[in-house]
Chains A and B, each alone.
Chain A
Amino acid sequence: MAGWAIAVHGGAGVDPNLPTERQEQAKQLLTRCLNLGIEALRSSVSAIDVVELVVRELESDPLFNSGRGSALNENGTVEMEASIMDGSGRRCGAVSGLTTVKNPISLARLVMDKSPHSYLAFSGAEKFARQMGVETVENDYFITQDNVEMLKLAKEADSIVFDYRIPKASYESCGTQVESPIKMNGLPINIYAPE
């Protein structure tokens, strides 16, 4: 039997000018999550339980765009989504439009294990969360000052643009960016920000 293996990510599309201390913070969080998963794998915890355990840790830390620290929508609030899949039997669970569930990945797991469905969204997902008794919090628990600032920048530029980590200075210089000729779904590709 081959050995275990694990990988984690915190998002693609990084501001090339991200300050060094932010880069170090990110690496420390990734290392902490890897070690959490490695310890569980050494204790023979199953793959599906390890991925849920590690993503919960990532959701609870405000550094990356999930759970606490999620990017803000046009209304300045948080709408979260998640999914989980077990390769054994290809079982899966997904949720969207969550506003109060502290760890969306665990609700996705409950959709997989405790519901006859694969995907619940918005009010149905929130109702299921209460039925399952998962931990819920006020929406402002997920909102960080950093992201409030980034939303302000995006509003000023009136678009969905950019990775929300780009500091104001470089952002203003992007304000005059030339319309990209490349289109996706019929829209200029540059309105799609890396998540």
Chain B
Amino acid sequence: TVGCVVVDSQGHCAAATSTGGLLNKRTGRIGDSPLIGAGTYACDLCGVSCTGEGEAIIRGTLAREVGAVMEYKGLGLQEAVDFVIKERLDEGKAGLIAVSKTGEVAYGFNSVGMFRGCATENGFMEVGIWD
């Protein structure tokens, strides 16, 4: 699975996710990536893209949860990401990347590693795999 989340200079957020799904999956199996609110979500507060165990991400409506706890609990972006990864996955393993309309970027995962990269206009840039 691959994904990208962006907030532009106008403060508009967007998210995109694409995948081949699980190795040896049954034909017709749908994962989280095409499900809006599970693998991908964007609103005026944030943009989110998820990856990992699709079935756990679907059951946790993971991407929308980030926007929901920002909206209803007033959490900041990284707080929201950490909360959702910790509280919404049951025993599932997954990761996600997110941006906020205020130009923040965040990621979180409870799996063994996640291929990710992030950058902001003020010059921050990071590419990583492990914790």
Contact = CB atoms under 8 A, between A and B. Distances in A.
A50 B6 contact: yes
A110 interface: no
B116 A8 contact: yes
A87 B41 CA distance: 8
- Interface residues of chain A: helix, strand, loop or mixed (majority): mixed
Contacts of B47: 47, 51, 85, 87
A4 to B, nearest CB: 5
Contacts of B101: 2, 87
B122 A52 contact: no
Contacts of A12: 1, 51-52, 93-95, 109, 111, 113-115
B7 interface: yes
Interface string A47-85: 110111011001100001111011111110011111111
Given A66-B20, A160-B24, A192-B92, A14 B112 contact: yes
B22 A160 contact: yes
A23 interface: yes
B22 A14 contact: no
A159 B115 CA distance: 24
Contact of A51 (B5, B95, B98): B5
B41 A6 contact: no
B43 A66 contact: no
B102 A2 contact: yes
B18 A80 contact: yes
Nearest to A36: B4
Interface residues of B, number: 88
Contacts of A9: 1-4, 49, 51, 95-97, 107, 114-117
A10 interface: yes
A101 B23 CA distance: 19
Interface string A136-180: 000000100001001100110001111110000000000000000
A116 interface: no
Interface in B99-113: 99-107, 109, 111-113
Contacts of A124: none
